[in-house]
Structure 1
């Protein structure tokens, strides 16, 4: 999760934290919002815009997969400490389409955090409608000291 978080004061994400999109890949899709009021049930969300749609008018599957992947890392933060991780595997089952204007929320959990890999699962929903369920595996990554190539 970006260190540059601000609290949202109005709209559908009022009370949530907003990560500034920045110039990374996630910035192309975000902004993302985080509800950390219950550290054991962190939520990650965004609002679908026209730029998130595919040619058929639904939220692009790649956009939903990006939210799932990002969420897996957010759920893993308490298990990473000062470390980092990379995605080893991300499996997803598309259940229903998302639409422009939808507030899409990811919830999930880490099911096991080992020495080298972290396993998690979650869902993306718009209200009561399940859009996507996912499981993933993250590999812990050693952080190189500054100046090492």
Structure 2
């Protein structure tokens, strides 16, 4: 049984990123071959000096989930950059908590995509993020 057995349907995912190797490990839930959610089990390395999840790790998870939601729109690989991202910290997450993303694309205008995400521990929202992402021309 995988480490993600506490979350039904989530499997470890190698994001092929040195930064993600430092901030992970990440777990993904897929349906019909497309990602529907990204999750992270908080470890000691993710905590701030107050013993709560560092805001930077929550923002990193949200940024990845937002980008993944956009990538799921396309049948071919795409390159994306985050143009802007706004976050509101709604609650605390603690070591051992599973933080799960719910991201959705709200609108597409040319190369720009407007995306929204919440991060939850159980049913409790801990972060809300909205972003504008750009699909690079060479992709």
- Structure 2-normalised TM-score? 0.88
Structure number with greater Rg is 1
Q: How does 1:1-80 map to 2 (within 5 A)?
A: 8=2, 11-20=5-14, 22=16, 24-37=18-31, 42-80=36-74
Number of matched residues? Answer: 138
Deviations along 1:60-94, one digit per CA (max 9) or x if unpaired, are 00000000000001111133433211000010100
SS in 2 for 1:79: coil
TM-score (norm 1): 0.82
| Offset at residue 36 of structure 1 (A) | 1.1
* Residues 1:129 and 2:128 are matched in the alignment: no
Two-structure CA RMSD over aligned residues (Å): 2.3
1:93 pairs, out of 63, 88, 105, with 88
Which stretches in structure 1 are left out of the alignment for 5+ residues? 1-6, 145-149
User: If each structure's strand is expressed as a fraction of its own residues, which one has the higher value?
Assistant: 2
Extract structure 1 runs of 4+ deviating beyond 6 A.
Answer: 38-41
